[in-house]
Amino acid sequence: MGASGAGKSTLARCLTRLVPCFVPAEVTGDVRLLGEPIHGRRVGELAGTIGMVFQDFEAQLFSTDVTQEVVFGLEHTAVPPAEMPERVARALATVGLAGFEGRDPTTLSGGEKQRLAIAGLLALRPPVMVLDEPTTDLDPVGRAEVLRTLAGLRGDGLTLVVIEHDTAAAAGADLLLVLSEGRVVGRGAPRELLADVEACAAAGIRAPDTCCVLAALGLPAPPLDVETAAERLRAAGATPKPPRFLPPPRPLRPPLIDVCGLGHRYPGGHAALAEVSLAIRPGEFLALVGRNGSGKTTLAKHLNGLLVPSEGAVRLEGHDVRGLALEELAQRVGYVFQDPDHQLFAATVEEEVAFGPRNLGLDPAEVEVRVAEALAAVGLDERDADPFLLDKGVRQRLAVAAVLALRPDVLVLDEPTTGLDFVEQQKMMALLRARHAAGQTIVIITHTPWVIAEYAERVVLLAGGRLRYDGPPRQFFADDELLAAAAFRAPDVTRLGRLLGCTPLSVAELVSWMPGRQAPCP
Amino acid sequence: MDAGETGAVPLTLYVPAASRLHRLHPVTKVAGLAAFIVAAFVVDRPLALAPLAAAIAALLVPAGGFPNVRRLRVMFVLVFVSSLVVWTLFYGGRFGATRAGFLYGLSTAIRLDTFLAAGILFLTTTRVEEVAYALGRLGLPYIVGFTLTLAFRLVPVFFDAALAVVQAQRCRGLELGRGGIVARLRRFVPILVPVLIGALRRADRMAMALELRGFNSGRPRTTYLRARAGPADALAGAVLAVTTVAYVALWTSGVGLLAR
């Protein structure tokens, strides 16, 4: 674990000789694999000894057929054809893809693709496997599938080296290495390292909620699991006293965006949305959630006219979105795509942000005002920097600035925190909170429970293209059926609170409900 | 990436089925495609082409290829109608409908649709990897077949990314179809740069992933696909040979050609 740029991927690539074979570098010191030094070996020679899985599953599949995909490595490492059917069957069974033989990988879900990539390596029977953020690009369902597969591999005796941002997933490891600025700053059992809330913060890691709560209450040696933590709190006599929650006030202002009976059918007949109705009011902070394929991205793309409804309509202050010009829409509803690299193209940060305002035909003075305002909003000041050389988190904020420069009334963001480390995730959310405080209406699509719990005012859950829930996050996280529909697990602090009879949405909230923790009297 | 919601469509037309055609040796299938193309190419009388079209249609049924034909029906109609209209009106370099032009247009329409149908039949019954295997057996270097496979795998991924870029830039007010030619071309820069850079980044990762799977391992290559030619291949080969010879005869004798 460690923040972006700590050296995790570089270390992982040294183990497989990708550094320096693919990434030129001067390497000192020694790596021994099964007792053998790997110095001077080629990456391909080590296939079958060590495998490596990347975050980008599309880049790891080369065939148009699942069986052929698994066979690929066998063909290139001189495995006799007679052995292949058995190896393929084993590898596919291990990752839970038995029965997928003959499928085209293009038709698989993200989780299935990633498991197929793992099967392709597994067929080579390496004793060691390195995985660099294997679940970052997956939805909760795909993530659970991959984590289950990894648990199975570990049970089979494979050695796994996993780079992971999620504390809960790291908690089960035998050994945790924490890197910071290219050095190992922590090495030991996860429960000991992660319990040190301050050390986690220093290394840019999100400390487990249980540890944060117990540390804030001054209780020593916090456990990582919520059940034990709840017992410890009960034993210490810490009973939360939540305030009485009033139902949210009736909205007074008319809706900014009105979605009426929206249906969307993709060519080929696949219905992505059916009978969706919701009103988005000015100043709301709304989280759109649901499993992959539930229709949330489709719905979001209707908000600014990227898609045309098959049924129903989307109205912006009473006007049908279909009748509005592109320029008008771009200024009313800004849309930030999940991958910033899908829109960054300019040579400098300044040019990138100026692109939108120039498309609107604004005069240079106004363009400059917009650029300055947008860059300030996202906390970027290197105007001449090359966008492609910036870190992922900074590129993500630049993409937000590029849309903010259009001064949209509504900002729609597709998974704004995916693929960022904890520090950058917090920066992104702080920036959105500041925009929201300034009156901006915000809609985010997200798979990250703590982001919803801590930031959203309203949760809209889609399941199978239909509206399943529309209400405050507290009720959402208190309802196991809804959580199952979204394939979500509530944040640990919420689960801990529920064991104690309340539904807190953040560590700070639960701690503030503890008797004796209220603001001290003057 | 939310693959389920962007809707990548596979480029492959392969229909997994256990038909006799599927079980033919890949080299036989490549030869069959070649024979049909040659036969349809050398004659131009609609009557001479009709049996070929009928044969392909008859083979598409047991191969399970009709859903693919339906998927591409717009192309069939478009090719047929445009050939017929264009040749009828412009045959011989002058504008005006002629009977000779109509006949030539009809034969071209049937011929092009036959090519299309033959291609669909081939891809319905043959995995891209089998095509690569057949090309290897015919003496082409491995890299040719591998590149073909990779192209079929990557084109949908690439289109998906390009679609996302177009949408992302539209959200920033980029309108592609406005202004003069230079202005229009310049407006493609914000589309092309992210698409190309994204493809390069991915290619980089893909090169790593390839080697991690043993590509370039220094060991000899083995092949999983193990096709053995059987009696069905001998029969198919004989039919193909007779057909090809017959059509070449129709061509050289002039029987299969329209009067000029």
State the DSSP string of A212-244: HHHHHTT-SS--SSHHHHHHHHHHTT----PPP
> What range defines the domain where residue B243 resides?
9-135+229-253
Best mutation target among B71, B74, B157, B171 (most A Cβ atoms within 10 Å) is B171
Q: Using an 8 Å Cβ cutoff, are A178 and A205 in contact?
A: yes
Residues A423 and A299 placed together within one structural domain of the fold: yes
3 state SS of A313: strand
Is the CB of A22 less than 8 angstroms away from the CB of B207?
Answer: yes
Residues B18 and B118 placed together within one structural domain of the fold: yes
H helix intervals, B91-141: 99-125, 128-137
**B221 in any annotated domain:** no
Is the CB of A64 less than 8 angstroms away from the CB of B165?
Answer: no
Nearest CA in chain A to B158: A58
| CA separation, residue A269 to residues A104, A262, A273, A295 (Å) | 20, 16, 12, 14
**B149 in any annotated domain:** yes
Residue A24 contacts B where some CB pair is shorter than 8 Å:
no
Residues B86 and B146 placed together within one structural domain of the fold: no
Q: Residue A335: what are its φ and ψ, rounded to 5°?
A: -130, 120
Nearest to A507, CA basis, from A131, A167, A191: A167
Residue A228 contacts B where some CB pair is shorter than 8 Å:
no
Is the CB of B222 less than 8 angstroms away from the CB of A74?
Answer: yes
Residues B239 and B117 placed together within one structural domain of the fold: yes
Tell me the pairing of strands A441-445 and A410-414: parallel
**A208 in any annotated domain:** no
Measured distance CA(B36)–CA(A338) in Å, rounded: 47
End position of a domain, from candidates A202, A225, A249: A202
> In chain B, how many domains are there?
2
How does DSSP classify residue A105?
Answer: G
Res. B4 pLDDT band, cuts 50 70 90: very low
The residue that leads in pLDDT, A458 or B5, is A458
Q: Using an 8 Å Cβ cutoff, are A38 and A32 in contact?
A: yes
Q: What is the pLDDT along chain A (522 residues), one digit of tens a residue?
A: 999 999 999 999 999 999 999 999 999 999 999 999 999 999 999 999 999 999 999 999 999 999 999 999 999 999 999 999 999 999 999 999 999 998 999 989 999 999 999 999 999 999 999 999 999 989 889 999 999 999 999 999 999 999 998 888 899 899 999 999 999 999 999 999 999 999 999 999 999 999 999 999 999 999 999 999 999 999 999 999 999 887 777 777 899 999 999 999 987 678 899 999 999 999 999 999 999 889 999 999 999 999 999 999 999 999 999 999 888 899 999 999 999 999 999 999 999 999 999 999 999 999 999 999 999 999 999 999 999 999 999 999 999 999 999 999 999 999 999 999 999 999 999 999 999 999 999 999 999 999 999 999 999 999 999 999 999 999 999 999 999 999 999 999 999 999 999 999 999 999 999 986 544 443
Residue A86 contacts B where some CB pair is shorter than 8 Å:
no
Residues A290 and A424 placed together within one structural domain of the fold: yes
pLDDT digits (tens, 9 = 90+) for B73-88: 999 999 999 999 999 9
Residues B118 and B239 placed together within one structural domain of the fold: yes
Q: B107 to chain A nearest CA, in Å?
A: 32
Question: What is the identity of the amino acid at B105?
Answer: G
Residues B177 and B236 placed together within one structural domain of the fold: no
> Cis omega (within 30 of 0) on the bond before A140?
no
Question: Has residue B8 got a pLDDT over 70?
Answer: no
Residues B119 and B203 placed together within one structural domain of the fold: no
How does DSSP classify residue A48?
Answer: T
Contacts of A61 in chain B (CB under 8 A): 153
Res. B260 pLDDT band, cuts 50 70 90: low
Measured distance CA(A426)–CA(B62) in Å, rounded: 59
Q: Using an 8 Å Cβ cutoff, are A410 and A333 in contact?
A: yes
Is the CB of A68 less than 8 angstroms away from the CB of B221?
Answer: no
Report pLDDT for A518. 46
Residues B128 and B159 placed together within one structural domain of the fold: no
ipTM score for this prediction: 0.91
CATH number for A441: 3.40.50.300
Nearest CA in chain A to B217: A44
End position of a domain, from candidates A187, A202, A217: A202
Residues A293 and A193 placed together within one structural domain of the fold: no
Task: Considering only the beta carbons, identify the residue of A104, A342, A359 that sits closest to B174.
Answer: A359
How does DSSP classify residue A520?
Answer: P
Contacts of A337 in chain B (CB under 8 A): 164, 167-168, 171
Contacts of B183 in chain A (CB under 8 A): none
Contacts of B153 in chain A (CB under 8 A): 61-64, 105-106
Nearest CA in chain B to A60: B209
What counts of helices (H) and strands (E) characterise chain B? 12, 0
Measured distance CA(B17)–CA(A271) in Å, rounded: 28
Contacts of B210 in chain A (CB under 8 A): 62
Measured distance CA(A127)–CA(A47) in Å, rounded: 11
H helix intervals, A320-363: 326-332, 349-359
Measured distance CA(B119)–CA(B97) in Å, rounded: 31
> In chain A, how many domains are there?
2
Beta strands per DSSP E along A54-136: 128-132
A400 alpha carbon, distance to own chain's centre: 17
Non-local CB neighbours of A441 within 8 Å, separated by 6+ positions: A256, A280, A281, A282, A283, A284, A285, A286, A409, A410, A411
Q: Using an 8 Å Cβ cutoff, are B232 and B23 in contact?
A: yes
Q: Which helix (H) or strand (E) holds A394?
A: helix A392-404
Quote the pTM value: 0.90
Residues B88 and B115 placed together within one structural domain of the fold: yes
Residues B98 and B128 placed together within one structural domain of the fold: yes
Residues A295 and A408 placed together within one structural domain of the fold: yes
**B260 in any annotated domain:** no
Nearest CA in chain B to A358: B173
Q: Which helix (H) or strand (E) holds A373?
A: helix A364-378
Non-local CB neighbours of B130 within 8 Å, separated by 6+ positions: B26, B29, B225, B227
3 state SS of A131: strand
Nearest to A10, CA basis, from B228, B220, A22: A22
Task: Considering only the beta carbons, identify the residue of B11, B217, B223 that sits closest to A44.
Answer: B217
Question: Has residue B7 got a pLDDT over 80?
Answer: no
Q: Using an 8 Å Cβ cutoff, are A412 and A435 in contact?
A: no
Largest CA distance in chain B: 65
Best mutation target among B163, B172, B204 (most A Cβ atoms within 10 Å) is B172
Nearest CA in chain A to B188: A345
Report pLDDT for A71. 96
Nearest to B173, CA basis, from A320, A355, A378: A355
Name residue, tokens 């079980």.
B23
Report pLDDT for B183. 81
Q: Using an 8 Å Cβ cutoff, are A37 and A31 in contact?
A: yes
**A287 in any annotated domain:** yes
Residues B207 and B190 placed together within one structural domain of the fold: yes
pLDDT digits (tens, 9 = 90+) for B250-259: 999 998 888 7
Residues B178 and B103 placed together within one structural domain of the fold: no
3 state SS of A462: strand
Task: Determine the average pLDDT of the residues in B147-151.
Answer: 91
Q: Residue B219: what are its φ and ψ, rounded to 5°?
A: -95, 155
Residues A407 and A291 placed together within one structural domain of the fold: yes
Contacts of A348 in chain B (CB under 8 A): none
Tell me the pairing of strands A441-445 and A285-289: parallel
H helix intervals, A77-172: 84-94, 110-122, 140-155, 167-170
Report pLDDT for A521. 43
> What range defines the domain where residue A131 resides?
8-202
Residues B130 and B145 placed together within one structural domain of the fold: no
